Amino acid sequence: MNSLRMLRPAAIRVALASRARMAQSAVVLKPSLNSTTRIITRPLSIKSLFASKGDNDQSTSIKQPILSQDNLFHPLSESPIPEIRDRATIIKKYGTCPVCNEEHHGDRASMHSPEFECPDCGHPTHCCEEHYHKGKAEHDKICGILREHNEDEHDLRSGRPMKEFEFPSAQGFDEAINMANWDVFFYTRSFPSMDSDRNMRHVSKLLTYPITIGSVLHESSPYKKQVTPEGLRSLAAIRSILYPKVILAKDGVTMLKTETVNLYLLGARAESTLPPHIWLQLSHLFPQTPFHLHFIGPDTLPPNREPYTTFLNDRLTFTYDNAMYHDYHEKIGSFDPYRDIYFLFAPGIGHPDSREAWKPSIAKALDTKCAMFITGFDQTDVQTDVKAVEEDHGEDFDWILKPTENHFKSLKHDINLQDLTQAICANWGIWGIRGKRYEVTHNQEDD
């Protein structure tokens, strides 16, 4: 069964932003209220998650807490939150009892749906209490994660003020950012209200996308040991743009703003649904650099939506396009390893269903000699993609970043509702490659 494949689009997708809303809100800092009204009928409001101080509109009326902090655990089927009760329904409809599964060797006809809810995590795990006790030792391996997830989901919808989503603005010039891990990042960037592991899980699930990018490109990147000599050359080229003092020394020209750096996010899914202001946190890491983010791939926009380009401010431009990358590539024409970079978030390059489709896109990207960074949601996912790239493009690339655990993975687990034994963390691991025969021809006029 293709359970992990099914998990990809659904579970990794960030449910906090509807696509329609994003299209409307991309040019303004805060989403408009109208587009969230449908959601306000539910206890979780996107608006409430991202509202900032002094943001007084009618959505404040739903900020009355409906669940206190000592009342966050509920069996899913008895949750006061309709959305969470829906999860129980989905698990019961599409899941199977793991003990039945074992006994009937995967013969679905003989299996029973998980009706019995584990008292410790509140998830429907087994067909009956007897099978629950029989399979308990195995279930205990993930019960704690499911319990945590249960409480986190209730907390998100508890109606409390989500102060951890009040993100800091630009960094002072005398303050150094440390990118060693989430803890010191939050500390040195002065994130308010990052008081608990739960706060960090909520925020890391959103920020894993921009900050994973930032942590690779930043001068204080934590991957000193994993970056290869070829990788150092690639990153030195990119950093000569990101940190303009290098340009000043070389050209003797005063440039307050650097050239635009293009980030090509191939196979975009969850990252293309993030509210644009989340990407400000990438921008703040490189205060002199304008970024143009290109979200490319068939899941970027709902079907039949025309591609479009929008901007948040003069340093953040976004293009959304459902094209396959190898087609989009032709539209761009020329590439520059100094200021064009690829990021692929859990692309599933090695998955049998998508491997063929990825081949021409990866080949085009390698042709450019631009750096390409790829994440995976667990060790197996990373290994599967690495193996496929080695088999399909073996002669054509150099390693720039050896596979390693991502210091800025999502700390929150995503649960596969069809198979509760599977829990993953978005962007768990990261690695990087670049087309062979590195010859930089930096074209200054080409802007």
User: To the nearest whole angstrom, how small is the minimum distance from the Cβ of residue 94 to Zn ion?
Assistant: 15
Q: Does 415 bind Zn ion (CB under 5 A)?
A: no
DSSP state of 427: T
113 burial type by CB count under 10 A (0-12 exposed, 13-18 middle, 19+ buried): middle
Where would I find the beta strands (DSSP E) of 164-296?
Answer: 261-266, 291-296
Tokens of 363: 């080949």
CB atoms under 10 Å from CB of 436, counted, come to 13
Distance CA 206, CA 12 (A): 11
Among 55, 83, 102, 120, binds Zn ion (CB under 5 A): 120
Q: Does 127 bind Zn ion (CB under 5 A)?
A: yes
Identify which range of 93-101, 260-268, 394-402, 420-428 contacts Zn ion by CB under 5 A. Answer: 93-101
User: To the nearest whole angstrom, how small is the minimum distance from the Cβ of residue 129 to Zn ion?
Assistant: 10
Site for Zn ion in 338-377 (CB under 5 A): none
Q: Does 142 bind Zn ion (CB under 5 A)?
A: no
Distance CA 359, CA 349 (A): 8
Q: Does 100 bind Zn ion (CB under 5 A)?
A: yes
Tokens of 46: 């996107």
Identify which range of 50-58, 99-107, 391-399, 427-435 contacts Zn ion by CB under 5 A. Answer: 99-107
Among 4, 14, 17, 121, binds Zn ion (CB under 5 A): 121
Among 118, 261, 268, 424, binds Zn ion (CB under 5 A): 118
Distance CA 260, CA 54 (A): 33
Identify which range of 25-33, 113-121, 379-387, 425-433 contacts Zn ion by CB under 5 A. Answer: 113-121
Residues 397 and 435: beta-carbon distance below 8 Å: yes
CA angle 34, 36, 37 (to 5 degrees): 70
Identify which range of 131-139, 284-292, 352-360, 398-406 contacts Zn ion by CB under 5 A. Answer: 131-139
Close Cβ partners of 120 (under 8 Å, ≥ 6 residues apart)? 143, 147
Q: At 129, which amino acid appears?
A: E
Q: Does 293 bind Zn ion (CB under 5 A)?
A: no
Among 99, 270, 301, 341, binds Zn ion (CB under 5 A): 99
Q: Does 420 bind Zn ion (CB under 5 A)?
A: no
Q: Does 143 bind Zn ion (CB under 5 A)?
A: yes
Q: Does 131 bind Zn ion (CB under 5 A)?
A: yes
Binding site for Zn ion (CB under 5 A): 97, 99-100, 118, 120-121, 127, 131, 143
